[in-house]
Amino acid sequence: MPPLAGQRLPDAADTEAALIARAQAGDIGAYERLSGAYADRLFMLLLRLLGDRSEAEDVAQEVMLRAWRAIARFRGQSSYFTWLYRIAVNEANRALEKRARRPPTTPIGADELQLPAPAADDPSRQAENRELRRALGRALAELPPALRTAIVLRDVEGLSTQEAAEIAGVSQAAFKSRLHQARLRVRATIGDQTLVTAGG
* Contact positions vs other proteins (CB under 8 A): 2, 5-6, 26-28, 31-32, 35-36, 39-44, 47-48, 57, 60-62, 64-65, 68-69, 113-116, 132-133, 136, 151, 155-158, 176, 179-180, 183-184, 186-187, 190, 192-193, 195-196, 198-199
CB of 55 to other proteins, least distance (A): 12
What DSSP element (H or E) covers 11? none
Q: 103 or 148: whose CB is closer to other proteins? A: 148
The amino acid occupying position 185 is R
By CB neighbour count within 10 A (0-12 exposed, 13-18 middle, 19+ buried), where does 142 fall?
middle
CB of 112 to other proteins, least distance (A): 8
CB of 133 to other proteins, least distance (A): 8
125: left (phi over 0), alpha (psi -120 to 50) or beta: alpha
CB of 25 to other proteins, least distance (A): 9
- Number of alpha carbons in the 13 Å side-chain half-sphere of residue 16: 11
- Number of alpha carbons in the 13 Å side-chain half-sphere of residue 33: 21
Q: 123 or 199: whose CB is closer to other proteins? A: 199
Between the two ends of the chain, the Cα-to-Cα distance in Å is: 49
Q: 100 or 188: whose CB is closer to other proteins? A: 188
Q: 167 or 179: whose CB is closer to other proteins? A: 179
Q: 100 or 180: whose CB is closer to other proteins? A: 180
CB of 164 to other proteins, least distance (A): 12
Q: Where are the beta strands (DSSP E) in the chain?
A: none
CB of 103 to other proteins, least distance (A): 26
CA dihedral defined by 131, 136, 137, 138, rounded to 10 degrees?
90
Q: 18 or 190: whose CB is closer to other proteins? A: 190
Q: What 3-state DSSP class applies to 78?
A: coil
